[in-house]
Amino acid sequence: MKLLRYGPAGREKPGMLDDQGQVRDLSGHVADIADEVLTPQGLARLRALDPQALPLVAGTPQQELRLGPCVGLVRKFIAIGLNYADHAAESGMPVPDEPVVFNKWSSCITGPDDDIRIPRGSEKTDWEVELGVVIGAPASDVSEAEAMAHVAGYCVVNDVSERHWQLERGATWDKGKGFDSFGPIGPWMVTADQIADPQALAMWLEVDGRRFQDGSTATMVFGVAALVSYCSRLMTLMPGDIITTGTPPGVGMGQTPPVYLKGGETVTLGIEGLGRQTQRVVAPR
């Protein structure tokens, strides 16, 4: 299944993408794509529905029909740093022995095609295409062998980052990662049963048509199972929590000379089987 949320910002309704690429309304069955809806039992109830029997939503998704963040009520937006060896190299940092874990504030989450708003005073706003992992069943101290049973699905994430705040304004990366609009997710969450191998997905990102990132989840240092297990040792993962799993090389910081977003650009990105995002970059007023 491809589950999504559609409509004006802050008033999104739950939906499902059918085989013809049209949105079907789920409001008669669930209040949101959130909480218990993302558990194995909740997804099983949605899977039993006939998409063709659901109300058809007018408009082409991601054109005249806005899609919001594909998951609602995200409590924890957990990010993993330096999880691709070649990205660690371009960042001038060693490949970590354990996952580098930091936070993106849930208030940064936006729809897949909403504007990226550069913060006032920003010097180094950057991009990162990443695989997002959506938690389904609660997970606390689970093993790698158990971890995948706790995954509801996957989505595209742009881990927008302000490098000056991330790396030069003290020791915590969080400060540069959670500005408003720095967490586009979607266009939809693809349930885990539809992705044969999350470690074999092509991923890419372009700025104004120039391809900067062209990678694969196959080159992750720590795979999805390892990350879910590791994070579950640090905290109880709850339905709707998202782990964004790191980025391949090609970020702006890694260019010679570095390239950063200033405003006026169009960023497009996608992951095989999970859809694509398009964001307009807006300069601060």
Q: What is the pLDDT of residues 95-104, one digit of tens each?
A: 889 999 999 9
- As for how many domains the chain has, the answer is 1
Report the Cα 201 to chain-centroid distance in Å.
Answer: 14
Nearest Cα residue to 54 out of 92, 6, 106: 6
Question: Which parts of the chain register pLDDT below 70?
Answer: none
Q: Flag whether the pTM goes above 0.85.
A: yes
Residues 183-231 pLDDT 10s: 999 999 999 999 999 999 999 999 999 999 999 999 999 999 999 999 9
* 131-140 pLDDT per residue, tens: 999 999 999 9
What number of helices (H) and strands (E) belong to the chain?
5, 18
State the pLDDT at residue 135.
98
Q: Examine residue 154 and state whether it is found in any structural domain, yes or no.
A: yes
| Residue 52 resides in a domain | no
String of DSSP letters for the chain: -EEEEESSTT--EEEEE-TTS-EEE-TTT-S-S-GGGGSHHHHHHHHTS-GGGSPBPSS-BTTTB-B--SSSS---EEEEES-BHHHHHHTT-PPPSS-EEEE--GGGEE-TTSPEEPPTT-S-EE--EEEEEEE-S-BSS--HHHHGGGEEEEEEEE--EEHHHHHSSSS-GGGGT-STT-EEB-S-EEEGGG-S-TTS-EEEEEETTEEEEEEEGGGBSS-HHHHHHHHHHHS-B-TT-EEE----S--GGGSSS---B-SS-EEEEEETTTEEEEEEEE---
Domain hosting residue 211, numbered range: 73-282
Give the pLDDT of residue 93.
Answer: 78
Whether residue 187 is contained in a domain is answered as: yes
28 inside domain: no
pLDDT confidence of residue 95: 85
Q: What is the CATH number of the domain that holds 131?
A: 3.90.850.10
Instruction: Report the C-alpha gap between 230 and 220 in whole angstroms.
Output: 15
pLDDT for the residue numbered 88: 77
Summarize pLDDT for 174-190 with one digit per residue, the tens: 999 999 999 999 999 99
Residue 224 lies in a domain: yes
Nearest CA among 251, 258, 260, 270 for reference residue 88 = 251
- In a domain, residue 112? The reply is yes
Query: CB-hemisphere CA count at 13 Å for 107?
Result: 4
Q: 8 in a domain, yes or no?
A: no
**Residue 186 belongs to some domain of the structure:** yes
